[in-house]
Structure 1
Amino acid sequence: MTSKTNAGYFFEDYRVGQILRHATPRTVTQGDVAMYQALYGPRFAMHSSTEFASPGAVIQIPKLDDLITFHTVFGKTVPDISLNAVANLGYAEGRFLERIEAGDTISATSEVIGLKENSNGKTGIVWVRTTGIVHSDIPVLEYVRWVMVRKRDAAAPAPTPVVPDLAKVVPADALHIPEDLDWSAYDFALAGEPHRHGDYTVGEIIDHVDGVTLTDPEHMMATRLWQNTAKVHFDVTARPDGKRLIYGGHIISLARALSFNGLANAQLLAAINAGAHANPAMAGDTIRAWSEVLDTAPTSNPHVGALRLRLVATKGEAGALRGEDGKYLPEVLLDLDYWAFLPT
């Protein structure tokens, strides 16, 4: 019997400098917007109202949620990067560039920038820099992520370790502000909260209050929406515990939606500085979210300020992150460091 199905890359298949063009391009539609809304329930005004997003425009252009871009690009990479992954470990140097619109077709490429075999000889870490593009050549998103990938043959020789030196934070002056972003007459009442950029202080902890209990049907629907084919999300035989691992991006979107409570005016994501899926999440877990203000910065647009935030998804209490040993507490699921744009 033969099989023509793509079995995915294993650790020994990667080489530093390798360029991977990911199949298949995907056109996003208003159907994707409706499905995203149904799955996560975000209430940010820029993504909920065309009138709010483009006031006074003759043709009102809806602003698709930045995480729709992220998930779509991420999903393209799975068959080549993480089909045989044990876990997606982290993110860095992520920048949201041009915003996408319904009808845009997104494709993606990745470059392998680092490799390091693990001491067990059965797995290794692969670092890739991924770029999502529309209209064949316009970048909409770029980021680095690293993944623990299984080896096909434990006896295969280990590559020379290459660990990339990644920036801890995207500089504020490197953030991309959409040229058509006009917040000179921003309506705080319709946005849902009065808090401006200057109302937040470094070190402030914001409890986002609400909780969401994870279910397998919603998670699997979301993962299919992004065409994420990683086995651990669907196949209960892919893990020793017989459970489906919740896609980490699902946790990101749920936590981001919860962050509306206290950060309703953090309308646009600007960058992902760092991120870690600290512990696995499974159906039945109830997650809550809290944020810490890490930094603030002005931008070249006098009506727009940048806020650096740590977004934490947890099964525990707000403000609790690490134990005395410096390791993440077992109830912490996500630690995401990102820049957002708010009105001044």
Structure 2
Amino acid sequence: MSKTSSGNFFEDYRVGQTIAHAVPRTVTEGDRALYTALFPTRFAFYSSDEFARASGLARSPIEDLAAFHVVFGKTVPDISLNAVANLGYAEARFLAPVYPGDTLNSVSEVIGLRENSNGASGVVWVRSTGFNQHGAPVLSYVRWVMVRKRDRAAVAPEPVVPNLAPALTAADLAIPAGLDFSSYDFALAGEPHRWGDYQVGERIDHVDRVTIEEAEHMIATRLWQNTAKVHFDATLREDGRRLIYGGHVISLARALSFNGLANAQIVAGINAGAHANPCFAGETVGAWSEVLEKAETAAPGVGALRLRLVAVTGGTQDYALRGADGKYLPGVLLDLDYWALVPR
């Protein structure tokens, strides 16, 4: 009897199935340092304990997306080890800050299944929740992933496609306890722009560009203990290229957004997200944002911006997203709709 696991395939899932994922992960200041080394992130809230204390927290948490990657990475061996591609996200709520020293674990529930017409794969929807060492939820999100079938002849389950909210409302957002931007130091944060300076429909070219290196994206993916084969094993693709983890592109785009959105300090929720096209090492990535919505919050000095963050390959930004056929243009890598907390 084999003691190794080849992971789950599409026919192994059932709607309503709950999976408690293995290997809890304690996050440390080392995670913060390596995250900063891998991405050009400079948000003051996550760089300085003193800045975070002045904003009402006990100290600086790790970046919201770093916590997301840890929780996500725990799910990979059970959900997407045999993935063709991770397709999208919805209803992601960051429920509590994650601090160095916290231990995270993940649990997922299968909420949807649909076999693809080619009979070789299917789409699996899961709602995953990350918990800290006290059993308190810190993050919850839905994602859907295309997973290979082990046996093309296996009978497909009846399709179940979950009905997901198109977007979170500002009332759905969990504001960190004690958060207070009323004495916010704009000089230390790096930009003077506050909530009232942004207008719905405004677009921002974040100017900076970064070329992704092969070693960097694999180091980042290993940091989150993400074991999806397509990120490491070049023999799994006909073109012999390793697919870059979509979360790597999300973190890179978020870091690039600092130039123009330096005060969008906290990612509070993700409404929707699509990895529009695959990304490979050697590609140069830029980003632009569009302001979709503005909302007030009950926290002192804190407003919320709903933002579209788009990662693209190439140089000059023209804000193009889709072609005449409604499909994403080839140079679009990421289309992410999220809420950020900013000073008012």
Query: Could you state the TM-score of these two structures normalised by the residue count of structure 1?
Result: 0.98
The answer to whether 1:268 aligns with 2:277 is: no
Q: 1:238 to 1:174 in 2, by over 3 A?
A: same
CA–CA separation in structure 1 for the residues paired with 2:139 and 2:4: 29
List alignment gaps of at least 5 residues for structure 1: none
Counterpart in 1 of 2:243?
A: 245
Counterpart in 2 of 1:67?
A: 65
Counterpart in 2 of 1:35?
A: 34
Q: Which consecutive aligned stretches of 4+ in structure 1 deviate over 3 angstroms post-superposition?
A: none
Counterpart in 2 of 1:19?
A: 18
Residue number among 227, 230, 235 corresponding to 1:229 in the alignment? 227
Residue type of the alignment partner of 2:284: T
Counterpart in 2 of 1:338?
A: 338
Counterpart in 2 of 1:88?
A: 86
Contact kept in structure 2, 1:290 and 1:318, CA below 8 Å: no
CA–CA separation in structure 2 for the residues paired with 1:335 and 1:341: 19
- Aligned partner of residue 225 in structure 2, secondary structure: coil
Residue type of the alignment partner of 1:110: S
Residue type of the alignment partner of 2:141: Y
- Aligned partner of residue 24 in structure 2, secondary structure: strand
CA–CA separation in structure 1 for the residues paired with 2:318 and 2:208: 11
Q: What is the Cα deviation at residue 318 of structure 1? A: 4.1
CA–CA separation in structure 2 for the residues paired with 1:96 and 1:60: 18
Q: What is the Cα deviation at residue 32 of structure 1? A: 0.4
List alignment gaps of at least 5 residues for structure 2: none
Counterpart in 2 of 1:319?
A: 319
Counterpart in 2 of 1:156?
A: 154
CA–CA separation in structure 2 for the residues paired with 1:312 and 1:3: 44
Q: Deviations over 1:96-130 (max 9, x none)?
A: 01101100000000000000000000100000000
Counterpart in 2 of 1:329?
A: 329
CA–CA separation in structure 1 for the residues paired with 2:2 and 2:236: 19
Q: What is the Cα deviation at residue 227 of structure 1? A: 0.3
Alignment of 1:240-319 (within 5 A): 240-316=238-314, 317-319=317-319
Residue type of the alignment partner of 1:221: I
Cα RMSD (Å): 1.2
- Aligned partner of residue 24 in structure 1, secondary structure: coil
CA–CA separation in structure 2 for the residues paired with 1:293 and 1:320: 15
CA–CA separation in structure 2 for the residues paired with 1:31 and 1:339: 27
CA–CA separation in structure 2 for the residues paired with 1:189 and 1:144: 37
Counterpart in 2 of 1:5?
A: 4
Equivalenced residue count is: 342
Contact kept in structure 2, 1:51 and 1:60, CA below 8 Å: no
Counterpart in 2 of 1:165?
A: 163
CA–CA separation in structure 2 for the residues paired with 1:35 and 1:5: 31
CA–CA separation in structure 2 for the residues paired with 1:196 and 1:301: 15
Q: What is the Cα deviation at residue 55 of structure 1? A: 2.5
CA–CA separation in structure 1 for the residues paired with 2:153 and 2:169: 42
CA–CA separation in structure 1 for the residues paired with 2:318 and 2:60: 33
Contact kept in structure 2, 1:95 and 1:175, CA below 8 Å: yes
Residue number among 111, 114, 117 corresponding to 1:113 in the alignment? 111
CA–CA separation in structure 1 for the residues paired with 2:251 and 2:63: 10
Q: Deviations over 1:161-189 (max 9, x none)?
A: 00000000011111011112121110001
CA–CA separation in structure 2 for the residues paired with 1:78 and 1:199: 40
CA–CA separation in structure 2 for the residues paired with 1:223 and 1:320: 29
- Aligned partner of residue 220 in structure 1, secondary structure: helix
CA–CA separation in structure 2 for the residues paired with 1:202 and 1:60: 33
Counterpart in 2 of 1:209?
A: 207
Worse-matched range after superposition: 133-142 or 113-122: 133-142
CA–CA separation in structure 2 for the residues paired with 1:209 and 1:273: 25
Q: What is the Cα deviation at residue 5 of structure 1? A: 1.6
- Give the fraction of aligned pairs with identical amino acids, expressed as a percent: 69
Counterpart in 2 of 1:53?
A: 52
Counterpart in 2 of 1:193?
A: 191
Contact kept in structure 1, 2:180 and 2:300, CA below 8 Å: no
Residue type of the alignment partner of 1:294: L
CA–CA separation in structure 1 for the residues paired with 2:270 and 2:167: 8
- Aligned partner of residue 96 in structure 2, secondary structure: coil
Q: Deviations over 1:56-76 (max 9, x none)?
A: 98x952221101110000000
Contact kept in structure 1, 2:278 and 2:333, CA below 8 Å: yes
Q: What is the Cα deviation at residue 300 of structure 1? A: 1.2
Contact kept in structure 2, 1:289 and 1:318, CA below 8 Å: no
- Aligned partner of residue 54 in structure 1, secondary structure: helix
Q: 1:318 to 1:73 in 2, by over 3 A?
A: farther
CA–CA separation in structure 2 for the residues paired with 1:41 and 1:258: 7
Q: What is the Cα deviation at residue 238 of structure 1? A: 1.1
